[in-house]
Each structure stands twice: as structure tokens, then as C-alpha cells.
A and B are shown apart, each in its own frame.
Chain A
Amino acid sequence: MEHKELICINCPMGCMLSVDIDDNGEMKVSGNNCPRGDVYARKELTNPTRIVTSIVNVTEGELPVVSVKTKEDIPKDKIDEVIAALKGVTVEAPVLIGEVVLDDVAGTGVDVIATKNVNRKH
């Protein structure tokens, strides 16, 4: 029997999760305030993932950059590749929230979308 403690990062509550793993690999999660904590603990111990947020360059915009995020979470060990891929991206204003700025980033199958509106410079 193995015991692991981790902190759920799915929401700002940051519940302290404790996980008991029996000899067959069965996990028992406690300390979570909602079902997402249970899912998170199982995933974090087998296949950790993260949402990545960054910025990309904008031309003709009222701001020089626009904030972006991966639409879904991506494997934790792909974070660096995602950031590197975003360095090469430039979009033209106007940019709308939710607009795809890069599809299938770093072969993850996940799109990167804008998280802010940037109007055209006038």
C-alpha cells in the first residue's frame, strides 16, 4: 500500500488530496471538495497535464501582443514545445476572444486560442 499527498490545482480552492494506492494499483482519493479533485489526483499520478497560457505578437493592434491559451490541457512535458511554437506566431488585429491563433500546437491535437479582444489601431 502506498500513500501520496498532493494539492488539487483545478480551481483556486487548492484542496489537499490524499491518495491511497493499494497493491493492485487501485487508488482511493480523499480530501477533495468536488469530483474534479478525484479525477485530477488519478490523472496527476498517471498522466499530468496543464493548460498553457502565453502571448503572441499582434500587428496593427491597439496592443502589441495578445494573450492566448491552449484550449484544453496538454501533457506537462510538452509545455516547452508549446511555448517555442508560439514564439513564431504573429496575428493581425482585430483579434477576438476564442479565435484560433495556432491549430494542433506541437502535435498535441490541441488548438491555441486568443483570450483577449485586441482592436485595430486607429
Chain B
Amino acid sequence: MNKHVSILIIGGGPAGLAAGVAAHKAGVHDILIVERDIRLGGILNQCIHNGFGLHTFKEELTGPEYADRYIKQVEELKVPYRLATIVTDLKLSDDGHTKIVTTMDEEGGLTVYEADAVVLAMGCRERARGALNIPGERPAGIYTAGTAQYFVNLEGRMPGREVVILGSGDIGLIMARRMTLEGASVKLVAELQPYSGGLKRNIVQCLDDYGIPLMLSHTVVKIHGEKRLTGVTIAEVDDHLSPIPGTEQYYDCDTLLLSCGLLPENELSGQLGVTLSPVTSGAVVNESLETSIPGVFSCGNVLHVHDLVDYVSEEASAAGNHAAEYIKEISEGVNVPDSDDKAAEGRVIVVTDGGVRYSVPSILRPDHMADLTTIRFRVGAVFKDVDVVTYADDREVMRIHKRVMAPGEMEQTVLRKTDLLKEGTPSTYRITIENKQS
């Protein structure tokens, strides 16, 4: 017999934990968090550096300490969870209301759950090297930065001694410092783009502090070595990101770490038929962080890649609350539409342009909006001294000056419902950038 559960949360990282705690506090106790690892906490278990939680806890914690705050709450509230159990399949029941979730435990045992609501909190994974398209052999010694982080911080093993890092994502920057401290020589960080994808603070603390050069507009053009990596050739790239002949430089190294970005892990969401955004690779969600399938919510890195765990927790708490509201609505018999097409009327579409790449949420339903809605977004290039401006159709709603914005750092604005609806319900809410000095 299938087991029934009100809210099933896939993933026990910071997003899943915060969603579980919030849903429980909102009065729904029939919850299950399913985590494939042998411990809760997600990626935070390997992020031993500090810099987590200032916004949430008003103190600076390491990743495992931050995770522990939420794990404690989960334990204290007795929110049920299963470890070493992976969700292998996710689909809708024939009537379209129940979510059928199949899990597999360590011994291969399958359990099928019937859930009224599902929270997607699967996090993301690093872009694999196959996607990178570097010519040359494939010797040993090439790892994603996250894999290296796992080796060094959880197993106490060093992947190598002479290191080149391709990509200036945060994990790469953190690992540049980590491996330097462990005695490796980190030669350089090469970044294809003319700007870094990492947080400024990581560039200061992880590269500048140790004199490690960051070479912007550079990439690896050749990998040397047969069995084990012996070196790489780095070249400068032009405006079209193509290597410029004659700029090649050779570096000896036994390790190449790839830190070329993260991709939300949305295979399960795809199976379920959730509409995904081509920009974020995460689900398209409304103000309640609900996907195109009613009762399926998404938060954390599986929704869009976050750099700050504080915002993951904040977003996930909101998702947990909305999932709890959904459970209350269906138990009170409130009509839930079969698909979001039927609810399309009266929706406000959030449009982004002028350098704003995307927004989360991207759909606003005024009748479901709270007084304040946080809208998160990312920009596509570095902007200095500009205004972020929002419009309800053609009416200006907000104008905020920004000294600097970069693709590596998520931005957010808080929208007041009364400001949006001041002159009736608009059809679009537009977020753009103005006053660019070029």
C-alpha cells in the first residue's frame, strides 16, 4: 500500500530543512523530508569556510554550523526525515491532484508515497567537464572544484600539489585558498568572461590575500599529459570569447579544477512536467513559489542558483509556508485549478530586460500576494552607478540607485502589493536598468 503524506520535501539541504521547519510551524505536521546523503545539511557539509548566516542569525558561521542550526530545529520539532534515500520517480496521479513519489533506500527498498504537496529542494550540481569542450587528452587530475572540496574537507585527501583553476565561481575561489593553506601551489585562476562569477569578498579573501592571480578573459586551450595531467596552456580570449592566437602561455600543473558554474538539478521536475525556465534551468514559479503544477513548490538552488545561503533559507521558509497554506486550502475544499492555464486570468507577468536576466518569481497572482513580495533577480553584466527601475505596465513603481551590480551576485527588490495595484491590475510588472553610462 502506498503511504500518504501531506507535504513531501525532496532534499535535506538548507532549502529542504527550512521548508520543513516553516511548514511544521505553520501547522502541518504530516511532513517527510527525503535526503539521499547519509546526513542532513546538503552542500553545507563540505563548505567549512566561514561567511554563512549573518543575515539570518546575525553572526558569522561556517557551513556545517549553519546547517546545524536548522538540523536542530528539525530535530526539536520532530519533523520526520529519511536519510540515504533517493527520490527516483515523481509523477501525478490520474486525477492530477496527488503527487506520486517513489523513493529507494540503501538496500534498494522502494517506497511509494502519495503526497498532497511536494517541495522541490534538490539543490544543484556543477557543470561537468564534458560540457567544457577543452581539446586534448583526458588525463587524471581534472576535477570539478566541488569534488576537490569534498576530498579535502570530508576525506582529508589532497587531489594534487600544483593547481590551475578554470572558472572563477565561488567554489573555485574557496578552493584556491583551501588548497594553498594545505600546502599546494595555486598558479592562477583563469576566467573566460571579462568579470568574475564569484562574490567580491571571495576574490579579496581567497585570491588577493594569497597573491593568486585572477586572469579575466582567459581560458584553457590545451591539456597536457597522458596518464596524469602535466600542464595546461592558457590563452587570452577576444570579445567573442575565442582564443587569440599568439597569447598562449604554458603552466606546469598536476591538477586542474573546474569551477564553471552550477546547474539546478531538475530531472525530477522535468519528469513531473513542471515548466522550466530556459534562463535559470529552474522551475517557473509564481509569488507563492509554486510551479506550473498546483501543489508543487520549489526553493533554493534547484529553483535558481543562490550565492548566499541566507536567501536560500528565507526563500525556502516562504515555500514551506505556501505549501502549508495549500494543504489547508485543499482540506477546506477550496477549489484548486487543474493547471495554471485556468488561473491565468488576472495574473501579472514579471518581465525583465535592459540587462536583467531573469526574476524569481516570474508570475504574480494579486489575490494570493502578501503585502510584501520579495523578487530576486540577476543581471547579465557588470553595471556601475545605475538605477534599477520597475514598472506596472507603463507606470513607474520603484527606482533604486545601485553603485554596482554584477552577474555573480543576486539582487532583490521588495514589492508592496498596494504599489503594484494602485491603478488596477497591470498585465506586466517590468524590472529594468536605466541611466547606464556607456
Determine if B201 and A116 form an interchain contact, defined as CB atoms under 8 angstroms apart.
Answer: no
A-B residue pair count with CB separations less than 8 angstroms: 80
Please report which residues of chain A, range 38-94, place their CB below 8 angstroms from some CB of chain B when the two chains form the complex. Answer: 50-55, 57, 63-65, 67, 69, 76, 79, 83
Q: What total of chain A residues lie within 8 Å of the partner, measured CB to CB?
A: 30
Interface string of B143-155 (1 = CB under 8 A from A): 0000000001111
Shortest CB distance A4–B (Å): 13
A97 nearest in chain B by CB position: B68
Which chain A residues lie closer than 8 Å to B404 at the CB level? 16
Bound-complex Cα distance A63 to B157 (A):
12
Determine if A54 and B181 form an interchain contact, defined as CB atoms under 8 angstroms apart.
Answer: yes
B68 nearest in chain A by CB position: A97
Question: Which one, B48, B51, B153, B155, contacts A12 given CB within 8 A?
Answer: B51
Bound-complex Cα distance A13 to B200 (A):
9
Determine if A12 and B181 form an interchain contact, defined as CB atoms under 8 angstroms apart.
Answer: no
Bound-complex Cα distance A12 to B205 (A):
11
Which chain A residues lie closer than 8 Å to B240 at the CB level? none
Which chain A residues lie closer than 8 Å to B310 at the CB level? 12
Please report which residues of chain B, range 150-179, place their CB below 8 angstroms from some CB of chain A when the two chains form the complex. Answer: 152-156
CB contact under 8 A between A12 and B308, given known A7-B200, A31-B403, A65-B153: yes
B54 nearest in chain A by CB position: A11
Shortest CB distance B362–A (Å): 25
Shortest CB distance B39–A (Å): 9
B199 on interface, CB distance cutoff 8 Å: yes
Bound-complex Cα distance A63 to B55 (A):
30
Which chain A residues lie closer than 8 Å to B403 at the CB level? 16, 31
Which chain B residues lie closer than 8 Å to A51 at the CB level? 50, 60
CB contact under 8 A between A12 and B154, given known A115-B62, A115-B64: no
Question: Which one, B156, B181, B209, contacts A76 given CB within 8 A?
Answer: B209
Determine if A116 and B64 form an interchain contact, defined as CB atoms under 8 angstroms apart.
Answer: yes
Question: Which one, A31, A65, A69, contacts B50 given CB within 8 A?
Answer: A69
Interface string of A1-41 (1 = CB under 8 A from B): 00000111111111010000000000000010000000000
Determine if B45 and A116 form an interchain contact, defined as CB atoms under 8 angstroms apart.
Answer: yes
Bound-complex Cα distance A65 to B155 (A):
6
Determine if B201 and A64 form an interchain contact, defined as CB atoms under 8 angstroms apart.
Answer: no
CB contact under 8 A between A12 and B307, given known A53-B50, A83-B181: yes
Which chain A residues lie closer than 8 Å to B209 at the CB level? 50, 76
Please report which residues of chain B, range 216-262, place their CB below 8 angstroms from some CB of chain A when the two chains form the complex. Answer: none
A108 on interface, CB distance cutoff 8 Å: no
Please report which residues of chain B, range 185-212, place their CB below 8 angstroms from some CB of chain A when the two chains form the complex. Answer: 199-201, 204-205, 209
Determine if A64 and B48 form an interchain contact, defined as CB atoms under 8 angstroms apart.
Answer: no
Bound-complex Cα distance A7 to B209 (A):
12
B44 nearest in chain A by CB position: A116
Question: Closest 7 A-B residue pairs measured CB to CB?
Answer: A67-B48, A11-B54, A65-B156, A116-B64, A14-B200, A14-B201, A115-B62
Q: Given known contacts A51-B50, A116-B68, what 13 new A-B pairs fall within 8 Å (CB)?
A: A8-B201, A11-B51, A11-B54, A14-B200, A16-B200, A16-B404, A31-B403, A53-B50, A54-B182, A65-B154, A115-B65, A116-B48, A116-B65
A-B contact pairs, 19 of them (CB 8 A): A6-B204, A7-B200, A10-B54, A11-B55, A12-B201, A14-B201, A16-B200, A16-B403, A31-B403, A50-B205, A53-B49, A53-B62, A55-B153, A64-B156, A67-B153, A69-B62, A76-B209, A115-B61, A115-B64
Chain B contact residues, CB within 8 Å of chain A: 45, 48-51, 54-55, 60-62, 64-65, 68, 152-156, 181-182, 199-201, 204-205, 209, 307-308, 310, 403-404, 409
Chain A contact residues, CB within 8 Å of chain B: 6-14, 16, 31, 50-55, 57, 63-65, 67, 69, 76, 79, 83, 97, 115-117
